[in-house]
Structures are given as structure tokens and as C-alpha cells.
Amino acid sequence: MPQDLIRMTATEAVARLRKREISPLELIDAAEARIAEVEPQVNALPTLCFDRAREHARRLMATRYPPEANEAGWLDGLPVSIKDLNDVAGVRTTYGSPIFRDHVPTRSHPLVERIERKGGIVVAKSNTPEFGAGGSTFNEVFGRTRNPWNLSLTCGGSTGGGAVSVATGEVWLAQGTDHGGSLRRPGTYCSVVGIRPSPGRVTRGAVNNLYSPLSVQGPMARDIPDLALFLDTMAGYCPLDPLTFDAPACSFVAALGRAGPPRRIAYSPDYNGNVLVERETRAICEAAVRRFEDLGCVVEEYAPDLGGVEEAFMILRSQHFVVDRELQLREHRDLIKQDIIWNTEKGLSQSPSQLAWADRERAAFYRRVAEMFERYDVFITPSAGTPAFDVNRTHPETIDGVKLANYMGGSTLNAAMTMASCAAVAVPAGFDQYGRPVGLQIAAPPRQEARALAAAGFLERLTGLDRQLPIDPKPGTVPPG
């Protein structure tokens, strides 16, 4: 019975919860058994809270039809994981940092409160790099999270623990964050789906960077219908986040059911040779994109001019770090990892003219992207320049034979869509010769998450790759190169 339960999609599990064919307590038991089975191999969910989860489930079951049950995204007692960057009341929350090794918050993050109000049951905190900074999930508090497709490889970052938790069937849905690809890269490396919503679609709560559109919160899942369901759970206005706005009148689940395939698709493997992407990754992604032509879609190779957006992203990202980490750097420098120190000090050394140039570059790139969307419904690229790499590295050393300058060097495909405030979905596209997952990034204009989800859903049905999940962790070796 537990194996049958963990193999259900979130959509199927919620439907059975609504019919009272299964109970939240049964799902919690199934999640606990699965976590005990696979966690020693992957280290995705280092902090568990099953007593708290069962208390929440019993309260939920005692109130059979609360008002929230009529809202889009109602989960009715489905277990989920929460990234260890978001507070969960009464549960150890470290942000992946030794500074907060023993931190236990008294109140949950506003998004966690929303998820729990809509019937989500938090059973665990998922592992993350320190303060969510990094393309590989590890920290000094909990260690490394491993890729279930090959335990010698990284799961990506920074929502690596969340991606692994859904890929292995530990939970049905995972909450995460995304700045330069932190939902999209782990989704790709673990062959699951994740969406970076438009800024303001999902509350970020009381972060200090309240007016920056760079970092957002969002969902991960095993398939696109489940992703739409969890985005419905999260979406909506929050008085603690000035960028938020009301949830759409038509839910993402309903929009997904009504949508047709995109008519015109812009596809670029590497922004006209200006972004590093491995040769085999380009070939796999090209073949996947061409599947849309089976649906009658027009697929044309096109990309907006990147201009200076890569450098502009690093400038604005570093300023983001100054807001978040400057004060901590003064007091706890010896407890903060070098990548964060580097990013923060880069921001502290920047001039007002550099910041102004970066904002002008961002605006110019946004206008070029907006012009592209006047001709095309969606814009598709690979979602990572290289498949998963050695779990013991912070980032790939090279892509297509070119050495990377720093740990963000392989993130331009994702960072560009961050800079344009696009809705962007990572969806599996296939596997390379070593069995490593490869994925596509499907982007739509800001606030057009439904359009990106619909296109990803059509591709998912064409490939059937979602039906390979959940998987049992597999041993392996690091491929050459």
C-alpha cells in the first residue's frame, strides 16, 4: 500500500483525498516509510517533522470542508517539503548556514502559512546550499544532496533537496526558490519539473529584498498538472509583499485543461553561439523541440540579442547580496562560505554608474524579449548548458571545453529569463549517453505562467518522461570530461 501511494501523482492523491478514499495520515505514513528507505542514499530531507504533520492532519480531518476547500490549489492533506530557506513554525530552520544551525522559528514564512491553510501538510525541510547560493546542494550543517539518477552526481541547486524529494517519491510536491535558475536547474538535473513564476505571482514574505524582482518562490513536481496544482496553491496577493497581485480568475489547472498547443515557437540552442552549451545537450534539446512540429507548431530558430545582460545580471545579483549579507559579513565572516563573500564584496565595490548601467541593460533586454513575444508564443532554450556534474564540485569546470570563470558561469540560460521577468518552466527532454537527464526551459511573457505550463504539458505528453518517476536511487560514476 505505501508503494502504491507514493507512485500516485499529486493530482491523483488529492482527488482520492477529496473522495475520502485515502486519508492524510495514510499519506504521511507512506512518505515516512519512503523517506526512511531512500534518504540515507540521497540526503534530500535532513529535517523531518512527522509529529507536527500528524497533528496538522488530524486538525484538517476534524474540519471536513473548510472554506479554503473551494479555492484553487486546495491540497486536502497532501504531504509536501519546504526548502530550508523558509521558516516553518516549531521546526529547525537553518538556511543551510552554521550561523543558524540551531534556529527554531516561532512563526512560519507567509508562503508556508498559505500552503498549510490550503491543506498542504509539511513533513520535512529540504536541503539547500548556504543561504540558497550555489548550483550544487551542500552546506556545512547537513552535507551534500545526491542525484537519484546517479549518486555520484549533483542534483543541482539551490532547490536540490526539493527536486530529489519529488523525484524519489519522498513527497508529492516541493516548494523552492529561484534567482538564477534554482528551480529550473535542479528540475533538469533530476528529470522533474519546476517553474520560476513571474515576480509577484507568489509571495516572498518579509525578505529584505522586497522590491527586487530577481528572487522568487515557486513549486516543483513530477509532472506539469501537479506543477499547475501547486502553483495554484501558492499564487495570490500577500500584504507582506508589495510586488504580489491577485491569483488569476481562471486557475492554472483549469487553464492547462483548456489550452491548445503553441502556434509559433522561438527556439535557440545557445543564443546564436553566445552561451556555452554542450554539443550533446544541444542535440537532445533540438530533437525534443522538433516534437512540437508533430502538433502542427511552427518552430523557428531565433533568440533576442543578449547584449550585456550576463554582466548586468552579475552586477544586480551582487547588489542583492549586499542587501542580504552585508551585516552578516561584518559579524560572522568566518562562518560564511567564500562564494557568498565574493558576491557580497563584488557588490560593495560597485559604483552607482555600474548599477545604473546594469539597470539600463536589463531594460533594453526586456524590450527585446517583449518584441520577440509579439511574434512567438513561447521561447525555448536548453535549461542547463551541461548535464549534472560531480557531486563534490560547486560547479562544472568546463562547458563544451571552455573553462568557467566562476560558479555562476553556467547560468546564463536561466539568468537571462530572470532578467526579463519571464515565467519559465523546466521540463525533461531526454537523457545523454551517460544516462544524465537533459531538459528544456520554456519561457513565456511575464504573468503568462499558464502559457508556459501549457506548452510544457504538451511536450511532456509527447515524451512520456514523467512516467519514469518516482525512481529508486541509482549508484554510478562521474562521466569523463
Q: Does 124 reside within a domain? A: yes
Domain containing 392 equals 2-468
Q: What digits encode the pLDDT tens for the residues 108-126?
A: 999 999 999 999 999 999 9
The pLDDT of residue 133 is 96
Segment 137-154 mean pLDDT: 98
Q: Which CATH number do you get for residue 48?
A: 3.90.1300.10
pLDDT in tens, 312-326: 999 999 999 999 999
Peptide linkage before 470 cis (omega within 30 of 0): yes
In a domain, 476, yes or no: no
Each residue's pLDDT tens digit, 284-318: 999 999 999 999 999 999 999 999 999 999 999 99
Cα separation, 157 vs 140, whole angstroms: 15
Residue 435 lies inside a defined structural domain of this protein: yes
User: And the C-alpha cell for 131?
Assistant: 543561504
Active site residues: 83, 158, 182
Q: With cut-offs at 50, 70 and 90, classify the pLDDT of residue 2.
A: confident
pLDDT tens-digit map of 371-414? 999 999 999 999 999 999 999 999 998 998 899 877 777 899 99
Residue 137: the pLDDT is 98
What's the rounded Cα separation, in Å, for the pair 394 and 343? 15
Residue 435 in contact with residue 150, Cβ under 8 Å? yes
Q: Write the CB contacts of 472 (distance below 8 Å, at least 6 apart in sequence).
A: 38, 148, 168
Decide if 272 is inside a domain. Answer: yes
Cβ atoms of 377 and 300 closer than 8 Å: no
The domain tally of the chain equals 1
CA distance 51 to 375: 53
Rounded Cα distance, 363 and 378, in Å: 20
Asked if residue 325 is part of any domain, the answer here is yes
| pLDDT (tens digit per residue) in 206-240 | 799 999 999 999 999 999 999 999 999 999 999 99
Give 450's pLDDT tier (boundaries 50, 70, 90): very high
Residue 477 domain-assigned?
Answer: no
Cell of 397: 569546470
High-pLDDT (> 70) share of the chain, %: 100
The predicted-structure confidence for 233-284, as pLDDT tens digits, reads as follows 999 999 999 999 999 999 999 999 999 999 999 999 999 999 999 999 999 9
Within-domain flag for 86: yes
81 by DSSP, 3-state: which? Answer: strand
Buried b (16+ CB within 10 A) or exposed e, 293-310: eeeebebeeebbebeebb
In angstroms, the Cα distances linking 333 to 97, 100, 203, 343, 463 are 12, 14, 30, 13, 47
Check residue 1 and give its pLDDT.
65
How many Cα atoms are found within 13 Å in the side-chain-facing hemisphere of 74? 15
β-partners of residue 138 are 144
Tell whether 474 is covered by a domain: no
Contact 306, 332 (CB under 8 A): no
CA distances 116 to 27, 57, 109, Å, are: 16, 10, 11
Helices (H) and strands (E) in the chain, counts: 15, 17
Q: Note the pLDDT of residue 65.
A: 80
Beta carbons within 8 Å of 99's beta carbon, 6+ residues apart: 328, 332, 335, 336
